[in-house]
């Protein structure tokens, strides 16, 4: 686990969001939200949430993929995407 990934996991765990489980998944961050949480709403608000939280991170930024799921659906969000991420066909 790299320091940037570790810092994000620490921040989400420190937010004490009820019943969210946050852990490393390879080089990504996996966030499991309860099944009764609307994953579309989480996904739609995630960029603003991450932007606000990122203000407290002072270590160098790296590419990081967040994998959000609720047992039924999943979605991904890439923070600091690389050219490879941006140029996928």
Q: Average per-residue pLDDT in the chain?
A: 93
Residue with tokens 């309860």: 34
Kindly indicate the confidence band of residue 71, based on its pLDDT and cuts at 50, 70 and 90: confident
CB atoms within 10 A of CB 33: 19
User: CATH: 3.30.420, 3.30.70, 3.30.300, 1.20.140. Which one for 3-86?
Assistant: 3.30.300
* Residue 54, pLDDT score: 92
CB neighbour class for 32 (10 Å; exposed up to 12, middle 13-18, buried from 19): middle
User: Domain limits of the chain?
Assistant: 3-86
The least confident of 40-44, 61-65, 71-75, 84-88 is 84-88
Taking residues 51-73, what's their average pLDDT? Answer: 93
Write out the two tokens for 30. Answer: 């996996």
Q: What was the pLDDT predicted at 5? A: 97
């Amino acid at each position: 686990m790299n320091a940037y990934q570790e810092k994000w996991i620490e921040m989400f765990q420190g937010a004490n969001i009820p019943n969210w489980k946050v852990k490393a998944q390879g080089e990504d961050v996996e966030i499991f939200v309860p099944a009764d949480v609307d994953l579309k709403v989480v996904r739609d608000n995630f960029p603003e949430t991450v932007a606000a939280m990122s203000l407290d991170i002072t270590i160098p930024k790296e590419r990081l993929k967040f994998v959000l799921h609720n047992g039924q659906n999943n979605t991904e969000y890439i923070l600091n995407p690389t050219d490879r991420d941006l140029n996928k066909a």
